[in-house]
């Protein structure tokens, strides 16, 4: 890897850390920990203060400033190396200007006492810097300018605009201390349209309070800010769904007999290093470039060509088996190893929801109910995908491809355990948990299995929402509601799912290609998937720090999250820079142990 590429990646990593630390400073109310700038009470290092809390806030603020200064120096190095290499000069110059602008906003944030417009602009500037660095990093790996992205550029641009607006609204909510204006969800103070004052809610050039003296806005104005942020979140989801649908339709993979098509012209291949053609060279060199381009496309088409599925790849005659063997087959149908992890995270969610001990009735009935419904969803998944399971080496041992159970027996077994699980949840836990479990069942057995998995390589990302629900179910079983803490547990598993499953898909690519399943390594290649594993692992690392940031956990969990996350990031780096199927297999296995250990650390920290 070139020095310039390594410098860009290091700068991107530091920018990510600066954004996360900045959020922590804001959430811990340390934004004014140092009332002057650039020093802190006139000193480069915060001096000892009588108030320990003020001293801690000063260190947080100065730590963030020093990290931001280091980022500025790295961006200067990036700019000078861009000038030297004569590549991405405009983008590097824009980053230098942006870091100067960010430093100015940081100064104004302190000297103007957290003026909402300044705080929001500072947030947008940080996100813009992170986005530009991602763009610069992608240029180093030739993911920018690919002709395959043209069909989705307009939806992506609309989604970008919507995301910027939503981030700005989020910053406005935080800057005006409107986060708790609506304490319930999905309504606001029990109403869909509570009393709101939009006239005072969105005055951009004003102080923190409407009179200019620093006090909070009226309740109705805070409600208007919070409510607008919620409603626009739905708009962003709709736009993101539209962009995802366009991207899915643009995918050139067919489930039976199709081929992956790389429409890259020779010029694109030349930039990728596939041939050395340039516009000014002679006819012979251009002819060589065309031959190399044609050979490259032929190799890609051959690599991603899917064999057709056999007309009847499963046994049509059920094997003669004893009742005990049938029970074993039914048990295997529930994917017990997967269900055990689901139940484990659900039980952790129960214990985290209460400072004491979980009532024995809720613990037993909730655990059994969630396990039974999860097993029913797994059985439906096996039933729908029995032809795919028969083709794939990893799954051909399952009961249905081997002819150990009939469709009727599978449906009867699924209805029995699923119905029993829902009855236990409704009768001995609470109706909310039962309905959330029904939604989870539909999300996995129907939305993911029937709709997403055969249609889009983003199936794991979108469908991961159903797999992330167990701790929310456990939390709702104890408290009867879904709180912010429960959604943090959801977010951890949601961010964990892509690197976990794509690690498996990387060393099972041929299996998925043979079965015609559009997994990301099949549709976009292993190199792109390895980058996604790395990026999602970094996102996961940041997300796992949130329980400590919101004071849901303490130092013990923070240490475990950093240590476990560092190992996961190390595996992801090995996947990207030194890939082998063995490394991908080790990463997949570690990801399972990682999630279990992380939730166990949450539990231990909760009771210590």
- What is the DSSP-derived secondary structure letter of residue 43? B
Of 272, 258, 202, nearest to 232 (Cα)? 202
DSSP string, 296-335: HHHHHHHHTPPPPPPSS-S-SSPPP--HHHHHHHHHHHT-
- Helix-, strand-, coil-residue percentages of the chain, each rounded to 5: 70, 0, 30
Place of tokens 């999630």: 595
For the four alpha carbons of 266, 271, 275 and 277, in that order, the dihedral sign comes to positive
For the four alpha carbons of 446, 448, 450 and 455, in that order, the dihedral sign comes to positive
Q: How many Cα atoms sit within 13 Å of 234 on the Cβ side?
A: 5
CB 267 within 8 A of CB 277: yes
Cα-trace Rg, the chain: 27
Distance CA 251, CA 261 (A): 9
Distance CA 570, CA 559 (A): 17
DSSP three-state, residue 358: coil
Neighbours of 43 (CB within 10 A): 12
Distance CA 605, CA 547 (A): 11
The count of residues in the chain is 608
Collect all residues with Cβ–Cβ distance below 8 Å to 84 and sequence separation of at least 6: none
Place of tokens 């102080």: 207
**Which token pair is 260?**
């992956």
> Is the backbone of residue 52 left (phi > 0), alpha (psi -120 to 50) or beta?
alpha
61, 385, 404, 485: the active-site residue: 61
CB 362 within 8 A of CB 429: yes
Catalytic-residue membership of 61? yes
How far is residue 445 from each of residues 106, 300, 371, measured CA to CA in Å?
49, 34, 15
Query: Phi first, then psi: what are they for 213, rounded to 5°?
Result: -105, 5
Distance CA 592, CA 600 (A): 13
Q: What residues act catalytically?
A: 61
């Amino acid at each position: 890897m070139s020095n310039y590429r390594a410098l860009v990646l290091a700068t991107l990593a530091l920018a990510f850390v600066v954004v996360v630390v900045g959020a922590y400073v804001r959430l811990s109310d340390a934004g004014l920990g140092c009332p002057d700038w650039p020093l802190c009470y006139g000193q480069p290092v915060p001096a000892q203060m009588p108030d320990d809390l003020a001293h801690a806030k000063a260190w947080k603020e100065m730590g963030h400033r020093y990290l931001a200064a280091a980022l500025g120096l790295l961006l200067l190095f990036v700019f000078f190396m861009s000038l030297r290499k004569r590549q991405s000069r405009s983008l590097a110059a824009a980053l230098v200007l942006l870091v100067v602008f960010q430093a100015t906003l940081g100064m104004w944030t302190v000297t103007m006492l957290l003026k909402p417009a300044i705080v929001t602009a500072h947030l947008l500037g940080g996100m813009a810097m992170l986005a530009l660095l991602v763009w610069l990093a992608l240029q180093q790996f030739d993911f920018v300018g690919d002709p395959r992205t043209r069909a989705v550029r307009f939806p992506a641009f609309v989604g970008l605009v919507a995301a910027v607006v939503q981030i700005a609204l989020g910053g406005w909510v935080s800057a005006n201390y409107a986060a708790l204006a609506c304490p319930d969800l999905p309504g606001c103070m029990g109403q869909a349209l509570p009393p709101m004052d939009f006239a005072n809610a969105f005055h951009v050039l004003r102080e923190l309070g409407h009179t200019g003296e620093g006090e909070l806005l009226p309740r109705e104005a805070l409600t208007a800010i919070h409510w607008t942020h919620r409603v626009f979140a739905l708009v962003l989801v709709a736009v993101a769904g539209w962009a995802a649908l366009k991207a899915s339709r643009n995918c050139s993979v067919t489930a039976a007999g199709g081929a992956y098509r790389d429409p890259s012209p020779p010029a694109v291949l030349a930039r990728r290093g596939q041939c050395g053609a340039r516009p000014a060279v002679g006819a012979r060199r251009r002819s060589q470039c065309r031959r190399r381009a044609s050979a490259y496309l032929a190799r890609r088409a051959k690599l991603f060509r899917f064999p057709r599925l056999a007309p009847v790849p499963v046994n049509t005659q059920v094997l003669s088996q004893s009742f005990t063997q049938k029970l074993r087959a039914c048990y295997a149908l529930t994917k017990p190893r997967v269900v055990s992890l689901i139940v484990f995270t659900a039980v952790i969610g129960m214990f985290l929801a209460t400072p004491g001990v979980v009532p024995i009735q809720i613990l037993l009935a909730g655990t059994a109910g969630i396990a039974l419904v999860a097993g029913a969803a797994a059985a439906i998944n096996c039933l729908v995908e029995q032809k795919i399971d028969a083709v794939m080496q990893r799954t051909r041992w399952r009961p249905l491809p081997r002819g150990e159970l009939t469709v009727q027996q599978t449906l009867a077994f699924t209805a029995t355990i699923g119905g029993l699980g829902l009855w236990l949840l409704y009768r001995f836990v609470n109706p909310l948990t039962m309905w959330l479990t029904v939604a989870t069942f539909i999300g996995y057995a129907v939305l993911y299995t029937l709709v997403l998995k055969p249609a889009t390589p983003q199936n794991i990302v979108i469908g991961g929402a159903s797999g992330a629900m167990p701790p929310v179910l456990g939390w709702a079983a104890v408290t009867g509601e879904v709180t912010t803490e429960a959604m943090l547990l959801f977010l951890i598993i949601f961010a964990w799912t892509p690197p976990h499953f794509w690690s498996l898909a990387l060393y099972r690519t041929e299996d998925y290609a043979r079965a015609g399943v559009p997994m990301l390594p099949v549709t976009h290649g292993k190199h792109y998937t390895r980058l996604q594993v790395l990026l999602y692992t970094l996102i996961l690392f940041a997300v796992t720090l949130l329980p400590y940031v919101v004071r849901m956990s303490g130092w013990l969990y923070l240490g475990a999250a950093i240590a476990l996350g560092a190992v996961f990031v190390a595996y992801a780096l090995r996947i990207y820079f030194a890939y082998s199927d063995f490394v991908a297999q080790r990463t997949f296995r570690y990801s399972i142990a990682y999630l279990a250990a992380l939730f166990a650390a949450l539990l231990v920290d909760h009771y210590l």
